[in-house]
Amino acid sequence: DAKTTQPPSMDCAEGRAANLPCNHSTISGNEYVYWYRQIHSQGPQYIIHGLKNNETNEMASLIITEDRKSSTLILPHATLRDTAVYYCIVRNTGTASKLTFGTGTRLQVTL
Amino acid sequence: NAGVTQTPKFQVLKTGQSMTLQCAQDMNHEYMSWYRQDPGMGLRLIHYSVGAGITDQGEVPNGYNVSRSTTEDFPLRLLSAAPSQTSVYFCASSYSGLPGTGELFFGEGSRLTVL
């Protein structure tokens, strides 16, 4: 599985868009990009995933660059409840999933 | 709709004791896995299973055993607890281990302290 690189921490003002970057320069063609978040010490929560195209759901948008070497998770209107650690993960389709989490980005949403 | 249920939520053990962390899911998921989370380390995969009767090792399997006799249950056994196993343990499941077919659902965690 490709490794990912994320900034350790970011701040965002409430109501503004939070843009969380992820670098996955060694990604291969059959690998998906997944995003999860962990609020305080709860179990991680799935946010969104994509392969090549940009994706949007009720929680967030995922923008994947054309060369697929990086992606950005966008929370369009961040709230205090979005304060969490966000994990960017690349998964290999060839194996029955050995999902590996890095240390993620700690997003702090402030008033 | 319970999802993924872990028990116990908290446990204190003495070094050398054994115990089992229970994990059950009611979503008929084929794939189940166990992670541990230590401060500043993210989540590390211990063991996983792609279906009843099939298990495999993750990144940090030493000191832990698993079995998968039913689709619903995936217990994690600590044979002889050590202080290094003090951690928060998360169980997760998904419809299939193949990406693109569904996300992982996590339990609320089991906090284990080994004295």
| HEC-encoded secondary structure of chain A | CCCCECCCEEEEECCCCEEEEEECCCCCCCEEEEEEEECCCCCCEEEEEECCCCEECCCCEEEECCCCCEEEEEECCCCHHHCEEEEEEEEECCCCCCCCCCCCEEEEEEC
Residue B36, beta-bridge partner list: B44, B89
For B100, nearest residue in chain A (alpha carbons): A32
Q: Is B74 on the interface with A (CB under 8 A)?
A: no
- Across the interface, do B50 and A96 touch by the CB < 8 Å criterion? yes
Looking at beta carbons, which residues of chain A come within 8 Å of B100? Answer: 32, 49, 51, 93
Confidence band of A98 (pLDDT split at 50, 70, 90): low
Residues B74 and B68: beta-carbon distance below 8 Å: yes
Distance from CA of B40 to the nearest CA of A (A): 7
Confidence band of A93 (pLDDT split at 50, 70, 90): low
Residues B104 and B93: beta-carbon distance below 8 Å: yes
B64-104 pLDDT, tens digit per residue, is: 999 999 999 999 999 999 999 999 999 999 887 666 665 88
- For the segment A54-64, the average pLDDT, to the nearest whole number, is 96
- pLDDT for A88: 94
CA atoms within a 13 Å half-sphere pointing along the CA-CB vector of B1: 3
Residues A40 and A33: beta-carbon distance below 8 Å: no
B6-25 pLDDT, tens digit per residue, is: 999 999 999 999 999 999 99
- Across the interface, do A41 and B88 touch by the CB < 8 Å criterion? yes
Q: Is A98 on the interface with B (CB under 8 A)?
A: yes
A64-75 pLDDT, tens digit per residue, is: 999 999 999 999
Looking at beta carbons, which residues of chain B come within 8 Å of A39? Answer: none
Looking at beta carbons, which residues of chain B come within 8 Å of A92? Answer: 99
Portion 37-96 of A in contact with B at CB < 8 A? 41-46, 49, 51, 87, 91-93, 95-96
Structure-block tokens of residue B28: 């008929």
- For the segment A52-73, the average pLDDT, to the nearest whole number, is 95
Mean pLDDT of chain B, nearest integer:
92
Residues B55 and B8: beta-carbon distance below 8 Å: no
- pLDDT for A94: 44
- pLDDT for A95: 46
